[in-house]
Chains A and B, each alone.
Chain A
């Protein structure tokens, strides 16, 4: 089966600019996650969707981050405006509703200058 797809793979922006990331989960996976992985740390959940509804966004900095999952498939994560501390790898993962294994995409490496 095809894996989780993400784009772009790399992005360099200036602080205060905006950026958007895209994720296409494994076909049929109802649950989609966005994680932030800062260098040297484990992934940290930003937001979790079940179909196109938000399950958990308690750790999403809502003053600058937003995410949506239209039609319960693809998802976009946006940062506006970006800060230096947003430099990280943004990982998208998906899982089916019946089993908890999460499959990760290759990630988007964001550098904020």
Chain B
């Protein structure tokens, strides 16, 4: 089955700096790669996703890049703010309707 590895497990940055979280996956059939943000005690919420026919996607301060050949994808957060502090999970799955295989998460701390 699919195996998703995520690094780093913890990340601390100063407010205004950029944060990068990287994931690798094992199943070349995976085509959908979402990123979820989970605040303490809250539900995971989708922040951005990318499909295999796209190499990069941006949404304001958040961007995701995908390298299908190397089987890795990354989340980039620019101009970080304290409210970005949370656990971020990457995931991979086949197309629509398939379950997600999650990484172990990255705990991001943005200090003022």
A positions within 8 Å CB-CB of B:
31, 33, 40-45, 48, 50, 55-56, 91, 95, 97-107
A3: nearest residue on chain B (CB-CB)? B43
* Contacts between the two chains (Cβ within 8 Å), count: 57
A41: nearest residue on chain B (CB-CB)? B104
Q: Please report the total number of B residues contacting A with Cβ < 8 Å.
A: 25
User: Which of chain A's residues have a CB closer than 8 A to the CB of B34?
Assistant: 100-102
B95 at the interface (CB under 8 A from A): yes
Q: Is the CB of A102 within 8 A of B100?
A: yes
Expressed in whole angstroms, the Cα–Cα distance for A56 and B45 within the complex equals 23
B24 to chain A, nearest CB (A): 14
Expressed in whole angstroms, the Cα–Cα distance for A100 and B100 within the complex equals 9
Expressed in whole angstroms, the Cα–Cα distance for A104 and B45 within the complex equals 7
Expressed in whole angstroms, the Cα–Cα distance for A91 and B96 within the complex equals 19
